[in-house]
């Protein structure tokens, strides 16, 4: 087993910036995570020298990669806030002891900036669709997995990227265990794991389920970019990205640096969730990513004994919001014990109970989303049909 001391010993042999001292004695190494044969760490540098010191990061990865038992190394450069630096107006200063520079404020790019901006696509992947929510706990990951399987059931080649570094759910939802392997010895590119025919990648495959990811923003973004671009996805019609909840730096950077074909917003009917869902909608609009529609999850509950319908979180809030904003309403997914138990056991309902009411809902949502993706990619503004289940 690889331990942290071995990693630090290897990094102590790497010269620091300007060839002075070494990374360990200079106190530049942090956030070291060792999980089996996978190692991840951060190197703190001056923000202005990040591009210049990229060879340093590569040298550190190479040094750790030579440690017996290490198969995969992930390193990131993080920036340090200079003492006495003054935050920009309207931004909250970092807490005492923080050593990560706050992210830049979100700005809507103008037409010229949009034309000049280049987004590197993912080889073999035709379309990338993000599934997002303004807050956690609304069933976004369950929706992502069943949407991906619904697209697959409709005849498409599909993959799924679990972009939630802090709380990955895709391994459990798909019932996948194991670790990704490199496509060839010494290669940085990994083979995705597969579940029910879906190609999948998640931080949950690289660390143990109970390992906390105590990472700062730059480390998270480095991990996301590697999981997106250093994976052999093969030929896919669509890659579903299960986004982290909220509208923070990770979500914004993914939206700005990834050529998304569109985004699906998941919300519950209650006002509190819809307030946060609006933030997600506005974020995608500011970075010119088309919103393909809104799903109302946990829309209602039908008692299995008496058959009475209960609207636990209210009802129709997401549909009303979609109408106000002129967006497609993709459907109402009710609360259901069978859906929950199948998800927890790694048996998604679309494949484990394909004739069920919920499986049909997800396939219909997938069909509508795909029609919108094709319409947007052809430069058309095709309105998606509404799916309302009474």
Within a domain: 370:
yes
270 and 299 Cβ atoms separated by less than 8 Å: no
133 and 265 Cβ atoms separated by less than 8 Å: yes
Same domain as 155, residue 71:
no
Same domain as 155, residue 265:
yes
Within a domain: 129:
yes
146 and 350 Cβ atoms separated by less than 8 Å: yes
Same domain as 141, residue 274:
yes
Domain boundary among 79, 109, 134: 79
Lowest mean pLDDT among 50-59, 275-284, 309-318: 309-318
Residue from 306, 368, 366, 304 nearest 337 by CA:
304
Domain boundary among 79, 94, 116: 79
- Identify the pLDDT of residue 104: 39
Residue 312 belongs to a domain with what CATH number?
Answer: 3.40.50.300
At 210-253, the pLDDT tens digits run: 776 666 666 777 788 888 888 999 999 999 999 887 766 777 77
Within a domain: 99:
no
Pairing type for strands 193-195 and 198-202 reads: antiparallel
At 68-89, the pLDDT tens digits run: 988 888 888 876 544 444 333 3
Across the chain, mean pLDDT equals 79
Q: How confident is the model at residue 17 (pLDDT cuts 50, 70, 90)?
A: confident
- Identify the pLDDT of residue 286: 80
- Number of structural domains in the chain: 2
**SS3 label, residue 134:** coil
**SS3 label, residue 38:** strand
Percent of the chain with pLDDT over 70: 77
User: How many Cβ atoms from other residues are within 10 Å of residue 17's Cβ?
Assistant: 16
Same domain as 8, residue 141:
no
Mean pLDDT (whole number) for 152-163: 95
User: How many Cβ atoms from other residues are within 10 Å of residue 323's Cβ?
Assistant: 13
Distance CA 103, CA 251 (A): 12
Within a domain: 97:
no
Residue 12 belongs to a domain with what CATH number?
Answer: 3.30.300.130
Within a domain: 264:
yes
Within a domain: 72:
yes
At 36-67, the pLDDT tens digits run: 788 888 888 887 787 788 889 889 999 999 99
- Identify the pLDDT of residue 92: 37
**SS3 label, residue 17:** helix
Contacts of 320 (CB under 8 A, 6+ apart): none
Residues of the domain holding 52: 4-79
How do the residues of the chain divide into helix, strand and coil, expressed in percent and rounded to 5?
35, 20, 45
């Amino acid at each position: 087993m690889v331990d942290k001391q071995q990693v630090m010993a290897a990094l102590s042999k790497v010269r620091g910036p300007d060839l002075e001292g070494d990374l360990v004695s200079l106190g530049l190494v942090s956030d070291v995570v060792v999980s089996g044969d996978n190692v991840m760490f951060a190197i703190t540098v001056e923000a202005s020298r990040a591009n210049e010191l990229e060879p340093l990061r590569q040298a550190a990865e190479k040094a750790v990669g030579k440690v017996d038992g290490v198969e995969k190394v992930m390193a990131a450069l993080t920036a340090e806030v200079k003492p006495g630096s003054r935050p920009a107006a309207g931004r909250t200063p970092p807490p005492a002891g923080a050593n990560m520079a706050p992210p830049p404020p979100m700005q809507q790019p103008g037409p010229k900036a949009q034309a000049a901006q280049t987004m590197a696509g993912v080889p073999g992947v035709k379309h990338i669709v993000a599934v997002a929510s303004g807050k956690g706990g609304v069933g976004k990951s369950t929706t992502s997995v069943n949407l991906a399987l619904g697209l697959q059931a409709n005849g498409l080649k599909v993959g799924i990227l679990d972009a939630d570094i802090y709380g990955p759910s895709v391994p459990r939802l798909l019932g996948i265990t194991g670790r990704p392997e490199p496509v060839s010895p010494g290669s940085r590119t990994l083979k995705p794991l597969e579940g029910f025919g879906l190609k999948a990648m998640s931080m949950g495959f690289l660390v143990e389920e109970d390992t906390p990811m105590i990472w700062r923003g730059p480390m998270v973004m480095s991990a996301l970019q590697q999981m997106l671009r250093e994976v052999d996805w093969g030929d896919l019609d669509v890659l579903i990205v299960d986004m982290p909840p909220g509208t923070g730096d990770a979500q914004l950077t993914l939206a700005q640096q990834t050529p998304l074909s569109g985004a699906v917003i998941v919300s519950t009917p209650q006002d509190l969730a819809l307030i946060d869902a609006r933030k997600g909608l506005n974020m995608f609009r500011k970075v010119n990513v088309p919103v393909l529609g809104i799903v109302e999850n946990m829309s209602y509950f039908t008692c299995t004994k008496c058959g009475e319908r209960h609207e636990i979180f209210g009802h129709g809030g997401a549909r009303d919001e979609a109408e106000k904003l002129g967006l497609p309403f993709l459907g109402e997914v009710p609360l259901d014990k069978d859906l929950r138990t199948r998800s927890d056991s790694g048996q998604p309902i679309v494949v484990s109970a394909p004739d069920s009411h919920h499986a049909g809902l997800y396939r219909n949502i997938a069909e509508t989303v795909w029609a919108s993706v094709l319409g947007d990619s052809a430069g058309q503004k095709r309105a998606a049909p509404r799916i309302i289940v009474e």
